[in-house]
């Protein structure tokens, strides 16, 4: 079974530029998550999708971050414009359902450096 | 709001020695609890989870954790450390009263000395 795929793996941009990350979850997983992991910290949930609907985006900085999940499969996360403090690893995860007992399966992440 | 505290951001153990990683959570209702491991430049991988069955949970790679409601703790142990256990470990809690959102602790980096 293929795991969660993410691209690119690394991205370096200058502040005020825009960037987009892509995620392909495990086939059949209805729930998709985007996390931000700043160096030395645990992952922080940015947004959760159930199929193609948003379940929780309370911690997404909506003035600069946006995310979509078209057709309930792949998802993209965009930052526009980027700030220095956005330097982090962006992790995508998927799970079979929303239940709290469900394991989340994580992709390898995209490491973003904002100069 | 839910919070997870991992005591010690770095732990150094000798190969063959006991590994003990501490995790305490705040929750007004019994949560679901998880331990994940992260190897360099990789995503997180589930080690084990507690979902209100047995309080002693066994996971992969010889790890286990015990849920203690009275102490609001879910400490992770492994009797004998191996060099391959060098990684970062994250405790996480999913609170049914908070929409099942997963909240992570700050992580503990384990160094294994030969």
Q: Is A85 helix (H, G, I), strand (E, B) or coil?
A: helix
pLDDT score at B98? 67
Residues of A in Cβ contact (< 8 Å) with B31: 100
Q: State the pLDDT confidence band at B19, using cuts at 50, 70 and 90.
A: very high
DSSP category for residue B79 = S
B42 CB near a chain A CB, below 8 Å?
yes
B58-96 residue pLDDT tens: 999 999 999 998 899 999 999 999 999 999 999 999 877
B88 CB near a chain A CB, below 8 Å?
no
The gap from C-alpha B55 to its chain's centroid, in whole angstroms, comes to 14
DSSP category for residue A41 = S
B40 CB near a chain A CB, below 8 Å?
no
Lookup result for tokens 């359902």: A97
- Whether B44 and A43 lie within 8 Å, measured CB to CB: yes
Task: Provide the 10 A C-beta neighbour count for residue A90.
Answer: 23
pLDDT block averages, 10 residues each, chain A of length 115: 92 97 94 94 93 90 95 94 97 86 90 97
Calculate how close chain A gets to B105, using CA atoms only, in Å.
6
Nearest CA in chain A to B10: A40
B100 CB near a chain A CB, below 8 Å?
yes
DSSP category for residue A104 = P
pLDDT score at B28? 66
Q: What is the CA radius of gyration of chain B?
A: 14
- By C-alpha distance, which of B89, B63, B64, B2 is closest to A100? B2
pLDDT score at B27? 72
Q: Is B114 helix (H, G, I), strand (E, B) or coil?
A: coil
pLDDT score of B30 more than 80: no
pLDDT score of B2 more than 70: yes
- What are the φ/ψ torsions at residue A41 (nearest 5 degrees)? -125, 165
Q: State the pLDDT confidence band at B37, using cuts at 50, 70 and 90.
A: very high
- Residue contacts between A and B (CB atoms, under 8 Å): 59
- Whether B44 and A101 lie within 8 Å, measured CB to CB: no
End-to-end CA distance of chain B: 41
pLDDT score at B44? 93
Average pLDDT over residues B29-51: 89
Residues of B in Cβ contact (< 8 Å) with A41: 106-107
Q: Is A11 helix (H, G, I), strand (E, B) or coil?
A: strand
Closest CB from A45, A98, A108 relative to B42: A108
Q: State the pLDDT confidence band at B42, using cuts at 50, 70 and 90.
A: confident
């Amino acid at each position: 079974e293929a795991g969660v795929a993410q691209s690119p793996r690394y991205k370096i941009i200058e502040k005020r530029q825009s960037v987009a990350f892509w995620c392909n979850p495990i086939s059949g997983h209805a729930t998709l998550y985007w996390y931000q992991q700043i160096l030395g910290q645990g992952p922080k949930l940015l947004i959760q999708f159930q199929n193609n609907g948003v379940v929780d985006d309370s911690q997404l900085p909506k003035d600069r971050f946006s995310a979509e999940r078209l057709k309930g499969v792949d998802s993209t996360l965009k930052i526009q414009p980027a700030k220095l403090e956005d330097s982090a690893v962006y992790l995508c995860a998927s799970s079979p359902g929303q239940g709290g007992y469900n394991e989340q399966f994580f992709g390898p992440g995209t490491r973003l450096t904002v100069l | 709001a839910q919070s997870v505290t991992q005591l010690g951001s770095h732990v150094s153990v000798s190969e063959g020695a006991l590994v003990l990683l501490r995790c305490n959570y705040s929750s007004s209702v019994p949560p679901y609890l998880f331990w994940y491991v992260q190897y360099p430049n990789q995503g997180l991988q589930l080690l084990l989870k507690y979902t209100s069955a047995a309080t002693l949970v066994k996971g992969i790679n010889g790890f286990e954790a015990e849920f203690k409601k009275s102490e609001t703790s879910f400490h992770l142990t492994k009797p004998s450390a191996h060099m391959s256990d060098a990684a970062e470990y994250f405790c996480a809690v999913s609170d049914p009263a908070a929409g099942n959102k997963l909240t992570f602790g700050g992580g503990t980096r384990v160094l294994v000395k030969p």
